[in-house]
Amino acid sequence: MILFNSKSISAAPEQTDNSKSAPIGPHFSPWMLSAIYPLGSRVVLPFYFGRIEISGQEHLPTEGPVILAPTHRSRWDALLVPYATGRCVTGRDLRFMVTADEVKGIQGWFIRRLGGFAVNPRKPSIASLRQGVEILQNGEMLVIFPEGGIFRDDQVHTLKPGLARLAIQAEASQPGLGIKIVPMTLQYSEPCPRWGCDVSIQIGAPLNVSKYAKGAAKQDAKRLTADLDGALRRLNAEERLEERCTASLV
């Protein structure tokens, strides 16, 4: 899953009824969403992984528009992020922004039916970007991986500007919307996760987008990106320190 790198986003018209669902595509399957994630959280993940440690869930908003901004270390992230933040924790379902390459074949069939929607990172369409704005206007939780790809070295890599631009645009399109961006880090005990390895997930305090939407969108997005980068690096450093302390006690 890769974040787009856009230069401009055209926001959708203001939504007056926040109870309406965002237009997430004609193939979306609510029954499959209700089945797949519980199966993953209760059967697949506990069977495949050793320990799954999660901290910071108290930072997760239970209402209002939210962008979850996790580091991206494996395709397992697509199950672990909902496991740590989704329906069983907050009572909320997640929407994923993915690349066009990931909605092909059988994988794409599942992604679309689980609420994912595609963006071409090289040439994002206005329609797909507007869909992200509408999801936020409807007060939902949207997952975007801000690094732009999978990295297996446990370092936070340079963030793409698209997440902040989308958040600023959505906040400006509907004053008082109150979007929050929640930084998250995922770390595996193996660079390529295999059976029995451990997982650690850290969730940080949210950033309030309204504090950054001051009028100059490009500069606002730069400040927001820089602060999100700092939040992710602090979480990552705390996790690595905790791992070293744990290892020293073994």
Give the separation between CA 114 and CA 55, rounded to whole angstroms: 26
Q: Quick one: pLDDT at residue 186? A: 95
Please give the backbone phi and psi of residue 140, each rounded to the nearest 5 degrees, phi first. Answer: -100, 180
Positions of the chain with pLDDT under 50: 1-23, 244-245, 247-250
Give the whole-angstrom CA distance, residue 171 versus residue 102: 28
Residue with the two structure tokens 């933040």: 85
Angle at 176 (CA atoms; ends 6, 228), nearest 5 degrees: 45
Spatial contact of 230 and 205, defined as CB atoms under 8 Å apart: no
Within its chain, how far is the Cα of 162 from the centroid?
13
pTM: 0.82
3-state secondary structure of 21: coil
For helices 217-249 and 162-173, the axis angle rounded to 10 degrees is 130
Rounded CA separation 134/166 (Å): 11
- Strands of the chain (E only): list them: 52-55, 66-70, 94-99, 117-119, 141-143, 180-188, 199-203, 207-208
Sign of CA dihedral 192, 196, 198, 201: positive
- Calculate helix-pair angle for 30-39, 77-85, nearest 10 degrees: 90
Q: How far is residue 143's CA from residue 3's CA, in Å, rounded to a whole number?
A: 10
Q: What is the DSSP-derived secondary structure letter of residue 44?
A: I
Instruction: Return the SS3 of 73.
Output: coil
In this prediction, residue 5 carries a pLDDT of: 37
Cβ atoms of residues 163 and 127 within 8 Å: no
pLDDT tens per residue across span 171-202: 999 889 999 999 999 999 998 999 999 999 99
